[in-house]
Amino acid sequence: MPRTGVRPSIAHFVLDSPPSLSIVAAVPDFFTLDDLAAWTAPLSTLSPPARLAVIGDPIGHSKSPQMHNPALRACGIDAQYVRVRIPAGSVAQAFRLFAGRGFTGVNVTIPHKFEALEAVDVLDPQARRLGAVNTVAVRDGRLHGFNSDGPGFLRSVKEAFGVEVPDLRVLILGAGGGAGRAVAVQCALEKCPRLILVNRTPEKAESLVHELKASGSVTHVTAVPWDDESLRGVLRDADLVVNGTSLGMKPADPPLLPPASLEARHRVFDMVYRADGQMTHLGAAAREAGAAYIDGATLLLHQGAISFEHWFHMPAPLEAMRAGLRAALLS
């Protein structure tokens, strides 16, 4: 439901009032690698038991527990989802500890997605193509690595805009690595009619262009410089604008696009969201132009649903997850 004063075309992920939910008993904001290694109270004595986690550094801001714990309750699964701060260089150690402690799965966020790629036992072909792992399922003691960035992006676009990616000309800001790269590869695999890559380091975007052309996944892919003149030019040939950078999470972050360059016909997908529930600069620009817009909370929801499906081999209770995430964004 849009916020008061936001045009109906703006799909901003908040509610007028939080849903009635039973919230999991209070636990620390996050646990640490030492907690996981020692396996002492309170981590080892949680009820329901800790069986799922999200790792990153920092990690205390993550809304994933508020999304996944309602899903576990809705499905009658006796497990709890927690945050664990893991320092760079310790992902493989953490994964082995999770497996040894009886965990079912782990989500992976910044800065560990590339390290996780090398730390799993079995790598899903999609994750290999997208170049990162953000979901791990523990099966018979072996670590299976998946990537939900690309598939979550496809589901989010369909839900928010009512169209499929193969029908859209896509411009991606920050296509050189991370989620932006994953979305670029996914768009190429979907054979969108035009793919425009923009990155602060032009060499990274050019390298990805060569890679995609060599793979035969897409026929019309280009890289353009990140400057106002170039962006104004390519925006005329784009239907969907994607922010794959981390810019937008902080109020002081600079704008991504030239002023008044968006049009009402554009669809705008911001892969980040503000922890305080406020709209990003890109969202404000989309609202000013009358363009349809969603922020990264929608992507987080669908990524979470895909993770749930990998862990439990059953459909995710999407509405329970949506309600939990909305409530978390209001708190």
Q: Please say if 113 is a catalytic residue.
A: yes
In this structure, the answer to whether residues 314 and 216 fall within a common structural domain is no
Alpha carbon separation from 119 to 50, 90, 131, 317 (Å, rounded): 21, 10, 13, 29
Domain that holds residue 234: 150-297
In this structure, the answer to whether residues 276 and 176 fall within a common structural domain is yes
Number of domains the chain contains:
2
Among residues 215, 179, 178, 175, the alpha carbon closest in space to that of 195 is found at 175
Element (H, E) at 196: strand 194-198
pLDDT value at 139 more than 60: yes
pLDDT digits (tens, 9 = 90+) for 7-66: 334 444 433 334 444 444 456 799 999 999 999 999 999 999 999 999 999 999 899 999
pLDDT digits (tens, 9 = 90+) for 272-307: 888 777 889 999 999 999 999 999 999 999 999 999
CATH number of the domain within which 157 lies? 3.40.50.720
In a domain, 16, yes or no: no
In this structure, the answer to whether residues 121 and 189 fall within a common structural domain is no
Q: How far apart are CA 309 and CA 70, in angstroms?
A: 15
Query: Considering 63, 113, 213, 250, which one is annotated as catalytic?
Result: 113
Q: Which amino acid is at 80?
A: Q
